[in-house]
């Protein structure tokens, strides 16, 4: 593996070079319902990505989970080469624990919400997000 590290260290030997920015987002996620427990799915999206006919909002980047609505402290690596504009944090509370937002046979009242991470780009940001909209996908919150 030593020779591989040598080739790698030259830089010119890399097949691809991708630039990312690591952002730590802390703060709090609350929900308007009073049902306890359940996992909250948290994802980050480019507010807009692409050009012309391919331009679209809320382009998915990465996701994680937190135990339940409450304190938030997550870190994401955001691709910087694709030309994505803005950064939005989206979350939904999986009240019935089925891993699906508002599945047909599941809980149809699961709360969602999104908040823009500003300013962007940045290394850290603090957000306050209240999950108040039932069953809304990320695109619903396109800025």
Decide if residue 77 touches other proteins (CB under 8 A). Answer: yes
> Which residue is associated with the tokens 């030997």?
13
Interface region with other proteins, contact rule CB under 8 A, candidates 1-9, 35-43, 82-90, 94-102: 1-9
- Cβ proximity to other proteins, 82 vs 142, nearer residue: 82
- Cβ proximity to other proteins, 1 vs 53, nearer residue: 1
Q: What is the largest CA-CA distance in the chain?
A: 58
Other C-beta atoms within 10 Å of 135: how many?
15
We find the least distance from the C-beta atom of residue 118 to other proteins, in angstroms, to be: 17
Cβ-contact 112, 130 below 8 angstroms: no
Other C-beta atoms within 10 Å of 15: how many?
4
- Cβ proximity to other proteins, 5 vs 104, nearer residue: 5
Cα radius of gyration (the chain): 18
Q: Which residues bind other proteins (CB under 8 A)?
A: 4, 7-8, 11-22, 24, 77, 80, 123-124
């Amino acid at each position: 593996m030593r020779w591989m590290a040598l080739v790698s260290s030259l830089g010119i030997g890399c097949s691809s070079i991708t630039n990312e920015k690591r952002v730590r987002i802390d703060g709090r996620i609350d929900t308007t319902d009073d049902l306890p427990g359940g996992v909250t799915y948290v994802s980050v999206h480019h507010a807009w990505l692409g050009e012309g006919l391919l331009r679209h909002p809320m382009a998915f980047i990465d996701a994680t989970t937190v135990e339940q609505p409450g304190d938030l402290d997550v870190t994401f690596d955001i691709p910087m080469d694709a030309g994505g504009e803005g950064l939005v944090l989206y979350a939904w509370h999986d009240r019935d624990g089925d891993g699906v937002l508002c599945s047909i046979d599941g809980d149809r009242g699961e709360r969602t919400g999104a908040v823009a991470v500003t300013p962007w780009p940045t290394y850290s940001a603090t957000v306050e997000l209240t999950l108040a909209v039932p069953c809304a996908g990320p695109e619903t919150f396109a800025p």
